[in-house]
Amino acid sequence: MPALQSLCEHGRRPVVVVTQPARPRGRGRQLRQPPVAEWAMSQRLDVIQPPDVRDPGFLDRLRGLRPGTAVVVAFGQIFPKALLELPVHGCINVHASLLPRYRGAAPIQAAIIAGDRVTGVTTMRMDEGLDTGPILLQDELEIGSEETAGELAERLSSAGAKLLIETLEERDRGRLQPRSQPDSGMSLARRLRRSDGIIDWTASSRTIFNRLRGLTPWPGVSTTLRGQPVKILWGRPLAGESVAGGESGSFLGVRGESLLVSCGEDTVFGVERLQKAGRNAVPAKAFVNGERLEVGELFG
């Protein structure tokens, strides 16, 4: 959304906005437009919502518009060669990582899960590969020590919008110098699954914390207690706390506002907020009292 808004604010109003179709959402499963479509329609921009960008009818319609440049941001479909070659000046993609690191669908989450301290945005000229095109410009951002994927995504979205305008301005001045992506440092950030959020308590508390941050808000992280699923909404590693020889996932008691769980490498994770299926989220102390947890009970 910020990229589209920025284009309009800088006098680069798109001839058409291509986005995903309306889909059923919410408890009532009513059809709802994606936010990009809603905003574009509110600005009286033409909107096309193809279920598949390979559809000949869609390609013919786009071809008739004679687009100069296609700007692509988190579209979610692979572009065929026919679409990549359609705009006169090619397709420019805004990608939320410092390519070639974290090509693929979940670069923001992957950076946090890996414990990276720096990430950024890249504009690139698209080719037929998965985020393999020549790099145009890049901008680095530091990752906050407790920043979640949702929070980082907002910052990267704003940074990407600014970098997109800079890229287009530099191109118009003839000052862009595309460079091929290096072979070294490449990694792939595959699409996330719900199962990625299951906590492995044999990992260190820092590893668990990074996964919690990286998978917030979706899919979130979860464990089990007494055979029932429990979401861990927030918590953090507890410095200075350690447990030697305790089984990973063991409840160790309460310290301050945290429910202590033993983790791998003799570390401890302090859970601060939890939620059982079908229940409201509660602070750790309320959860312990409500469940009458006994020291030594196992999570996961």
What pLDDT is stored for residue 240 in this prediction?
Answer: 72
What pLDDT is stored for residue 246 in this prediction?
Answer: 72
DSSP string, 100-158: TTTEES-HHHHHHHTT-SEEEEEEEE--SSSS-SPEEEEEEEEPPTT--HHHHHHHHHH
126 φψ region: left (φ > 0), alpha (ψ -120 to 50), beta (else): beta
What pLDDT is stored for residue 175 in this prediction?
Answer: 96
Q: What are phi and psi of 103, to 5 degrees?
A: -70, 155
Whether the predicted model's global pTM rises above the 0.85 cut: yes
Please report the beta strands in the chain, taking only residues with DSSP state E, as ranges in sequence order. Answer: 17-18, 23-25, 30-32, 47-48, 70-73, 91-95, 103-104, 118-125, 135-142, 188-189, 221-225, 228-237, 251-255, 258-263, 267-276, 282-283
Dig out the tokens for 200 from the structure.
Answer: 């492995």
What pLDDT is stored for residue 130 in this prediction?
Answer: 93
Q: What is the pLDDT along the chain (300 residues), one digit of tens a residue?
A: 899 999 999 999 999 999 999 888 877 778 899 999 999 999 999 999 999 999 999 999 999 999 999 999 999 888 999 999 999 999 999 999 999 999 999 999 999 999 999 999 999 999 999 999 999 999 999 999 999 999 999 999 999 999 999 999 999 999 999 999 998 999 999 999 999 999 999 999 999 999 999 999 999 999 999 999 999 999 999 987 666 557 999 999 999 999 999 999 999 999 999 999 999 999 999 999 999 999 999 999
Domains observed in the chain: 2-189 (3.40.50.170), 194-291 (3.10.25.10)
What pLDDT is stored for residue 23 in this prediction?
Answer: 87
Q: Are the CB atoms for 173 and 182 separated by under 8 Å?
A: no
Q: Is the peptide bond before 100 cis (omega within 30 degrees of 0)?
A: yes
Provide the 10 A C-beta neighbour count for residue 133: 24
Residue with tokens 């407790």, as numbered in its chain: 146
What pLDDT is stored for residue 26 in this prediction?
Answer: 73
Q: Are the CB atoms for 111 and 156 separated by under 8 Å?
A: no
Residue among 81, 131, 60, 139 at smallest CA distance from 101 = 131
Q: Are the CB atoms for 237 and 209 separated by under 8 Å?
A: yes
